Amino acid sequence: MDKTIPEVSILMTFLNPGFFFAPAVESLLNQTFSNFELIAIDDGSTDGSLEWLKTLEDTRIVVVEPGKRLGRTPALNAALSIAQGEFIAVLDADDISKPTRLQEQVDYLRDHPDCVLVGTNFEQVDERDRVLNAHEWPSDPDDVYQLLCSVNPIAHSSSMYRRAAAELVGGYPSKYAYAQDYGLWLRLARVGGVAILPRILVSIREHSQQMTVVPEYLVARGMDAKNLFDEAARLPGMSGKARRANRRERGLARYRIALNMVRMRRPFQALAWGIRGTILAPFEMMKRLLASAMGVKMHPL
């Protein structure tokens, strides 16, 4: 390989990431694997993060200033379009990569040429870096493939995939504003293997700035989820168990839309979505209604 061409391109988009930005960037600059470029796309920051990034004297950092707000999915595709690496990694501007993350993922993809996407287990941390919980998934590619039918087990910030495979499937699907990573995973799973390393190599940040309860926003996210689970239902080779789990998630996605339509005072649309959800997942809906009647708390929708 030409040493002047990075083997890995890391995509990072940012919009006012605040004091979480520096630890995220530094976690990449301190990787044990060094042959990478960091493509950092500013999506309209006004908090000084862009100016700080420009002060870093590291030739591996490629700063991109579109001059206007692009939005998450277009920004990711813009970064992907200029990436040079054989492998593409991602890190959100408030998350942290463990020091060996890139090396372990590169080694896996080198050793498994049929694999096009590899994630890692991850932990969720709060604003003070306290661990909230850990997410550990099956690592076997067959198990990961079956999981994709009903859940996205690969956190975006834990992902590494082959650039050629992503280009083959058209990059991040532009119709998804909020779950573009899951959309890309579903497409990649059709052209190659998908795996998860059985080690926690990424810390995913949970903080108050991410929270929103605006019904219109939640409906938009719900529509993305509905369409993605509908797309996942068409994956070939799914087991009966995986398809039942998919049907349940398709029903719940519609039911979540219904609940937020109620909050938006759109009763007829809420009723229509609620009926669709109940048709797909009648037992789940019945279970939740009974739990509510008995005062039993369930995982919120």
Domain that holds residue 230: 215-294
Do the domain assignments include residue 300?
Answer: no
Whether residue 92 sits in one domain with residue 79 = yes
For the cut 60, the answer to whether the pLDDT of residue 230 exceeds it is: yes
Question: In the predicted model, what is the mean pLDDT of residues 182-211?
Answer: 91
Of the three residues 210, 232, 256, the one that is the final residue of a domain is 210
Question: In the predicted model, what is the mean pLDDT of residues 68-96?
Answer: 96
Partnered with residue 197 across adjacent β-strands are: 120
Whether residue 123 sits in one domain with residue 31 = yes
Whether residue 199 sits in one domain with residue 224 = no
Find the Cα–Cα–Cα–Cα dihedral 167, 169, 171, 174, rounded to 10°: 150
Per-residue pLDDT reduced to its tens digit, 121-164: 999 999 888 999 999 999 999 999 999 999 999 999 999 999 99
Do the domain assignments include residue 123?
Answer: yes
Alpha-carbon gap, residue 262 to 282, rounded angstroms: 20
Do the domain assignments include residue 301?
Answer: no
pLDDT attached to residue 289: 56
Question: In the predicted model, what is the mean pLDDT of residues 31-48?
Answer: 95
Per-residue pLDDT reduced to its tens digit, 167-183: 999 999 999 998 999 99
pLDDT attached to residue 283: 82
Whether residue 51 sits in one domain with residue 158 = yes
* Residue whose structure tokens are 């009763």: 267
Helix or strand or coil: residue 244?
Answer: helix
pLDDT attached to residue 298: 44
Of the three residues 192, 210, 228, the one that is the final residue of a domain is 210
What tokens were used for 234? Answer: 């068409």
Whether residue 114 sits in one domain with residue 13 = yes
Task: Compute the half-sphere exposure of residue 97: CA atoms within 13 Å on the CB side of its CA.
Answer: 31
Please indicate whether residue 284 or residue 106 has the higher confidence score (pLDDT). Answer: 106
Q: Considering all CA atoms of the chain, what is the largest pairwise distance in Å, rounded to the nearest integer? A: 66
- DSSP 8-state class, residue 211: -
Per-residue pLDDT reduced to its tens digit, 246-296: 999 999 999 989 988 998 999 999 999 989 999 998 887 767 655 554 454
Whether residue 206 sits in one domain with residue 262 = no
Alpha-carbon gap, residue 10 to 40, rounded angstroms: 8
pLDDT attached to residue 99: 98
Do the domain assignments include residue 167?
Answer: yes
Whether residue 261 sits in one domain with residue 143 = no
Of the three residues 210, 239, 255, the one that is the final residue of a domain is 210
pLDDT attached to residue 120: 98
User: Minimal CA–CA distance to 153: which of 140, 163, 170?
Assistant: 140
Whether residue 199 sits in one domain with residue 79 = yes
Whether residue 92 sits in one domain with residue 197 = yes
Whether residue 160 sits in one domain with residue 33 = yes
Do the domain assignments include residue 112?
Answer: yes
Whether residue 92 sits in one domain with residue 20 = yes
What total of structural domains would you count in the chain? 2
Do the domain assignments include residue 265?
Answer: yes
Average pLDDT, rounded, for the chain: 91
Whether residue 186 sits in one domain with residue 225 = no
Alpha-carbon gap, residue 172 to 153, rounded angstroms: 17
Do the domain assignments include residue 3?
Answer: no
Cβ neighbours around 189 below 10 Å, total: 22
The CATH number given to whatever domain includes residue 170 is 3.90.550.10
Alpha-carbon gap, residue 229 to 231, rounded angstroms: 5
Question: In the predicted model, what is the mean pLDDT of residues 240-249?
Answer: 96
Do the domain assignments include residue 281?
Answer: yes
For the cut 80, the answer to whether the pLDDT of residue 2 exceeds it is: no
Q: What is the pTM of this model?
A: 0.91
